[in-house]
Structures are given as structure tokens and as C-alpha cells.
């Protein structure tokens, strides 16, 4: 399976949870010399978030160009103290599409920045599902008994340039959009003319850096947006599932796949592939919890195994197929991610990487998963069936109002 024009020569390291991710992220930012770019859905200024914010502040204060992009819903506000500290240090930051007067009633309100990306000095990049948020803290529910189950990857090699280019392009488009909205057409034209100017050339290419060993992993950055990459992540999943011969393991926090993806899973199970899904078992949000249930029946009848993660909140968006194909990223398999949000996944073709991720998933399924029984599901209480259908119907209505069919 050809995954990218930059398919070979990468080093991809799996990071399990915030305990592995945040030390690696802070180490990279603290060592930065030229540039740090960070995008996240949630930036929560708890103890962990303040460590990251402080690292960005210190980097900017020593002359590093720091660009921070936050989602306007996931991060509803930046505390005043950090607004002043960022300004004093020179951190450039922006909240993407904060809610206006009509809130989510306008279709644009559903188009969120959900990807979690970071690139430092064009040398190392991060991609995954982990927000800037303490693993043991939830903005809604408070302290958690166990950490979120989630993953990210640390990337070295030529794929870093793809991550950086995606982030530079997004920042540039938002700058131009803001200028056009303010009728600053001349300034906008100059911005586009200078698009490859000093900001975009502050970091050297990783291929020319001394001491970088040759890497052999095949990998690609797969994006989803509302312009040129509307279906790339879903297509990557469907292609890999269609080619599966032995095993499909998917861990996904918010799971409500469309018809094509559901049929791909059903067809795989019917041709003898063992398909296992590790899904959110704890109630978090009404729509996501109940809206997914109506699609479980057909999957269970086809032989798909559904395991609900019971030890805490599952936030992962990962998969392993046939022991060699894997993906780690920000995209859930639900309509918000697959139709409306900006997402980023890394797809990896490497047996060793796939085995490491598979080991984590099998352990979670066996130690923390509760398998759904098809007969028990069919006989679930009438009230639960009503809530499931209600959530499913509301979800479809909201998608219709947002101009999307699913």
C-alpha cells in the first residue's frame, strides 16, 4: 500500500498516554533553537498545561519563533495572565473559529480544529490524540481515577517536513482570511507574495542535519479538511480494512462510522477476518454515547467483536491491521471528525511499530474491556433503545442542518 510521496525513511516512536507524551514534548520545546509550532483542540491551563505554556513562553523569550493555534470551542478562553505572558514573551497565538452569535446553529460552527500537531525546528514532530490537558483532570468531570487511554507519535525524518508544511499553510490561510475580513487586500497580497519568506525558512531541512541516522519506516501524514482532503482519513481506513486478511483492531473514542465504513468492517468479518473494536465504555456525552449504539447491532450480527473500555475514559484514535499497517492520530470515526473537523493521522507501514501498538491494544482489551453480547444488546431496555434512537436521529438532523449527509 503506497501511503505517501514521502513514504520511506522515517523514525516513528509510539508514545502511550500523557506520561510519555508530555516529557517528550517539553524536551523538544526546551531544546528548540529556531521555531516551535503547536496546534491543539484543548489547551487547559492546569498543572500540565502550564508546563507547556511556560516552555513556549521561555522559548519565545530566547528568540524562538513560537506559533500556537487553539480551537475556539475546545479552548474557550486563554486566562488573562497567560494572554499577558504570551504577549510579553512574543508567543504568536490564535483561537480558531470561536463561536459567534448563533453558536453551533451555523454550519461553520461545527468545523473545528481537532488535530493535535507540533513541530520543532523542522527536526522533530508530534501527532496524535492527546490534548494539552492533564491525564488525570477533565474540564467537565474534574479529577479522574485513572488516566485517559490515548496515544501520540514522535516523528523524525522527512515526514517532519509534511507536518510543518501543513501547519504553515493553515496559519498562513488564517492570516490572509483575517486580513481580507478587515479589507486589507494590499496587505493580504503581500502576505501571499512573501509566503516563503523568513518565517518559513527559519529551520533547516532535516535531511541536511548531521548525525541523523538512516530510517526505514514507511509512513504518511493523512489530513482531513473541508477543501482538498475531505475523505482521505476515511479512505485510508476503508482501503486497509478491505485489504485485511487476518485481523483488524481499532480503538476509537467516538465511534459512529458512516455506511461505507460500516460495510467495510462487516465484509471483513464475514470473510473471516477477526475484527475487534475497543470503544468508549463510560458515559461522557449524551450524543456520542447513545448515538453510536444503533449501529452496533449489524456489526455484532456480522461477527465484529465490540469491547467497551471500562477502566477510565478512552480517548485513543488508533488502529492495527494484519500486523503491519497502523494509524495514530486525532480522528474519531464519527461524523464530526470524518465530515467537519480538521484532523491529522499518521499512517505507518512497519511490523515492529504495529506490534508495539497491537500489544498495547490487546492488553487493554483483555484487561480493561467488557465485550458486548449480541443477544444482550438486542434485549437492552426499552428506555435505552429510545435514548439511542433519539441521539442518532438528532445527530443526523444536525448534520443535515450543517449541509452534510452521512
Catalytic amino acids? 114, 116, 121, 315, 317, 322
Is the distance from CB of 91 to CB of 68 less than 8 angstroms?
Answer: yes
- Could you tell me if 133 and 49 are in contact, meaning their C-beta atoms sit under 8 angstroms apart? yes
- The x, y and z cell numbers of residue 263, run together, are 460495510
DSSP 142: E
Cell 493521522, residue located: 345
Cα–Cα dist 73/59, whole Å: 26
- Joined together, the cell numbers standing for residue 58 give 521561555
In whole angstroms, give the CA distance from residue 53 to residue 65.
14
Q: How far apart are the first and last CA of the chain?
A: 27
How many other CB atoms are there within 10 angstroms of residue 247's CB atom?
15
Alpha helices per DSSP H over 62-142: 80-89
- Separation between Cα atoms, residue 318 and residue 152, nearest integer Å: 9
Nearest-angstrom CA–CA distance, 188 and 211 = 40
- DSSP β-ladder status, 305-309 and 274-280: parallel
Tell me the three state secondary structure of residue 131: coil
Q: CA-to-CA distance for 65 and 386, rounded, in angstroms? A: 53
Which DSSP category does 31 fall into?
Answer: T
Per-residue burial over 24-38, b if 16 or more Cβ lie within 10 Å, else e, is: bbeebbeebebbbbb
Whether the Cβ atoms of residue 86 and residue 50 lie closer than 8 Å to each other: no
Do 229 and 263 form a contact (C-beta atoms < 8 A)? no
CB 377 within 8 A of CB 296: yes
The SS3 of residue 178 is helix
DSSP letter for 336, please: I
Amino acid at each position: 500500500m503506497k501511503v505517501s510521496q514521502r513514504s520511506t525513511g522515517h523514525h516513528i516512536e509510539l508514545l502511550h498516554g500523557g506520561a510519555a507524551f508530555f516529557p517528550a514534548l517539553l524536551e523538544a520545546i526546551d531544546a528548540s533553537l529556531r521555531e516551535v509550532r503547536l496546534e491543539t483542540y484543548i489547551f487547559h491551563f492546569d498543572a500540565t498545561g502550564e508546563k507547556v505554556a511556560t516552555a513556549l513562553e521561555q522559548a519565545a523569550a530566547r528568540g524562538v519563533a513560537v506559533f500556537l493555534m487553539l480551537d475556539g470551542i475546545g479552548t474557550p478562553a486563554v486566562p488573562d495572565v497567560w494572554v499577558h505572558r504570551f504577549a510579553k514573551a512574543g508567543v504568536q497565538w490564535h483561537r480558531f473559529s470561536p463561536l459567534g452569535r448563533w453558536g453551533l446553529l451555523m454550519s461553520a460552527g461545527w468545523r473545528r480544529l481537532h488535530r493535535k500537531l507540533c513541530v520543532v525546528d523542522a527536526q522533530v514532530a508530534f501527532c496524535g490524540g492527546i490534548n494539552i490537558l492533564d491525564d488525570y483532570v477533565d474540564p467537565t468531570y474534574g479529577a479522574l481515577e485513572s488516566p485517559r487511554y490515548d496515544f501520540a507519535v514522535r516523528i523524525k525524518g522527512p515526514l517532519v517536513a509534511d507536518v510543518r508544511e501543513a501547519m504553515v499553510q493553515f496559519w498562513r490561510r488564517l492570516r490572509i482570511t483575517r486580513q481580507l475580513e478587515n479589507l486589507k487586500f494590499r496587505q493580504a497580497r503581500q502576505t501571499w507574495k512573501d509566503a516563503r519568506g523568513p518565517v518559513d525558512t527559519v529551520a533547516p531541512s532535516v535531511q541536511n542535519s548531521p548525525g541523523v541516522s538512516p530510517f526505514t519506516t514507511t509512513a504518511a501524514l493523512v489530513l482531513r479538511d473541508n477543501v482538498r482532503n475531505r475523505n482521505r482519513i476515511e479512505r485510508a481506513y476503508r482501503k486497509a480494512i478491505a485489504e485485511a486478511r487476518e485481523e483488524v483492531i481499532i480503538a476509537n473514542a467516538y465511534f459512529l462510522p458512516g455506511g461505507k465504513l460500516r460495510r467495510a468492517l462487516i465484509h471483513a468479518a464475514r470473510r473471516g477476518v477477526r475484527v475487534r473494536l475497543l470503544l468508549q465504555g463510560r458515559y461522557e456525552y449524551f450524543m456520542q454515547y447513545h448515538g453510536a449504539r444503533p449501529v452496533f447491532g449489524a456489526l455484532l450480527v456480522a461477527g465484529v467483536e465490540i469491547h467497551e473500555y471500562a477502566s477510565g475514559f478512552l480517548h485513543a484514535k488508533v488502529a492495527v491491521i494484519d500486523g503491519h499497517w497502523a494509524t495514530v492520530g486525532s480522528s474519531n470515526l464519527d461524523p464530526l471528525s470524518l465530515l467537519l473537523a480538521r484532523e491529522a493521522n499518521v499512517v505507518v507501514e512497519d511490523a515492529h511499530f504495529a506490534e508495539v501498538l497491537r500489544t498495547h491494544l490487546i492488553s487493554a482489551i483483555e484487561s480493561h474491556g467488557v465485550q458486548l453480547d449480541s443477544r444482550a444488546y438486542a434485549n437492552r431496555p426499552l428506555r435505552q433503545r429510545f435514548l439511542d434512537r433519539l441521539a442518532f436521529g438528532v445527530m443526523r438532523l444536525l448534520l443535515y442542518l450543517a449541509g452534510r449527509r452521512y
